Structure 1
Amino acid sequence: MSLSPIRVAGISGSLRRGSLNSAALRAAQALAPEGMTIEIAEIGDMPHYNEDLRAGGYPAPVERFRAQLAAADAILFVTPEYNYSIPGVLKNAIDWGSRPPEQPFNDKPVAIMGASGGLLGTARAQYQLRQMLVFLNAHPINKPEVMIGQAPSKFDEAGNLTDETTKKFIGDLLTSLAAWTRRLKAPAMAAE
């Protein structure tokens, strides 16, 4: 019996061209287990959240983002840590995505990881993000946690992940996300 494919929306919380978090997301695409695809969801072109703007209809980049989330079976966040929290651009995307109708984070399996130059590897930002996911009624996996500390030493100059231990952690996270997604979505996937 073959397993149903899993579509993951991957969100990097960094817009920087040389971002190690975006590099980690690209590494995750390559490390995804069989049957899982990770499509990167762009968040850098969305305007700042403004309820007056939303009242006139969602801007096209927001519509695209919300549609990607709605079509995905699961979500992978890859976040840097700014001032002990998530970056403003990621919070902005979450704010746009979380508005009614049909809030697309609702009931989604989620995995979180992040990379930083420090030793803690985005631990505080990940915990802040987990708090937001409670309100969004998303379902983050608890283990393994992937906090890529001292990240510059784990990627080459082209942004390729070179550290085998980190590759294993990311692979384990994605395997857990696949199992968690299948467990949470079993009735829906069985009907397909």
Structure 2
Amino acid sequence: MLVIGLAGWSGAGKTTLLEKLIPELTRRGLSVSTMKHAHHNFDVDKPGKDSFVHRQAGAREVLIASANRFALMHELRGAPEPALNDLIGKLSPVDLVIIEGYKTAPHPKIEIWRAANGKDFIHPKDQTIRAIAADEKLTGLPIPAVDLNDAKAVADLILTEARPLAEIFRT
């Protein structure tokens, strides 16, 4: 599996870009999975549903399955947050994993930058950022830069900068 991350400040357009990138990459014949790190409490379940009741009752894991999909929820119950490489190991094998968040992890990243945010670039202080996708033309950078709104160019960049999982998380 190849791995690449998207890093950027909130409001830079990471999710909007992913919405365009995933179809572009799958059109190219790649199987793609994504991971998103949440910095806050989140829930994918609904109060009153059986699965929610099972979790609230203390189940460590609840698996919901149908003919269309399955979802596995795992409650940490006070245990430390799992490391990124442990979580990636829970994914089924695919050609490419795109990670949003996990800014301090060692995987290569593409910085997503939007001028209207008024935020500084991340790449000067982060050696894992290999390229930048921005909403305005940037020149004189030490890393490649492409147009944030050009999904084909960003997909090309991703395929150039993504690295094999085993190369990133050598143990």
> Shorter-chain-normalised TM-score: which range?
0.3 to 0.5
Greater Rg over alpha carbons, structure:
2
* Larger strand proportion of the pair: 2
Higher RCO structure, 1 or 2 (CA under 8 Å, sep 6+): 2
Q: TM-score, normalised by structure 1?
A: 0.41
